Amino acid sequence: MWDFLKQLTDPHSIIQYGGLWLLLFVIFAETGLLIGFFLPGDNLILLAGILCKAKPELMNVNYFELTFLMTLAAVLGNATGYWFGRRVGEKLYARKDSWFFKQKQIEITKTYYNKYGGNLTLILARFLPVVRTFAPVIAGVIKIDFYKFMFFNLVGALAWILSLTAIGYFLVQIFPQITDYMGYIFIALIVLTAIPILRLVFKKRD
């Protein structure tokens, strides 16, 4: 079980052993299931773009097919999270902390809603670990209009998938040896995407 969880958090393993379908499931799960907050969405999408160009045989799809399928997975994931929030409602705020769920995850997401509003948060959340998992759930809890939610769900998914995939895809053309430095790239991406979350956490402590 532990080995399986380790593979789910390793972008290389996800694509190498699971191929396209596991890639799509992880994107869906990170944005649609509460337990998905620990999954490596940003790194996985970037790596997918790189491997689509460098090792296309791993997934057997072209760039446009890949981005379409990943966008669809991201949209369906958010829609699932929204449905869960509508169904669970305020009960989520009373839920006790567990190994995969913490109330502070909800508080961080609510801070973004209070600061940027629902529409912008649904777009920004795509680029923020943890927040992207809980943003659609909170949207369901506060009952944002479904059609408005789906519009910003789609905009956010397109921005997230297309930007990271394009960066990976075109970096291979500029730096063909980039696959030798993936570890450093992943660390840099983790740090960059974690900075806004860490700022909120430390700000709350002040």
On the 0-12 / 13-18 / 19+ scale of CB atoms within 10 A, 112 is: buried
User: What per-residue confidence (pLDDT) applies to 4?
Assistant: 42
Q: Residue ranges per domain, the chain?
A: 2-205
Low-confidence stretches of the chain (pLDDT < 70) are 1-18, 36-40, 93-95, 97-102, 178-206
The string of pLDDT tens digits covering residues 62-117 is 899 999 999 999 999 999 999 988 888 777 766 676 655 667 777 777 777 777 77
Residue whose C-alpha is closest to residue 134's, from 203, 32, 23, 44: 32
Q: Give residue 193's region: left, alpha or beta (phi > 0; psi -120 to 50).
A: alpha
User: What per-residue confidence (pLDDT) applies to 159?
Assistant: 94
User: What per-residue confidence (pLDDT) applies to 82?
Assistant: 93
User: What per-residue confidence (pLDDT) applies to 6?
Assistant: 45
User: What per-residue confidence (pLDDT) applies to 2?
Assistant: 38
User: What per-residue confidence (pLDDT) applies to 156?
Assistant: 94
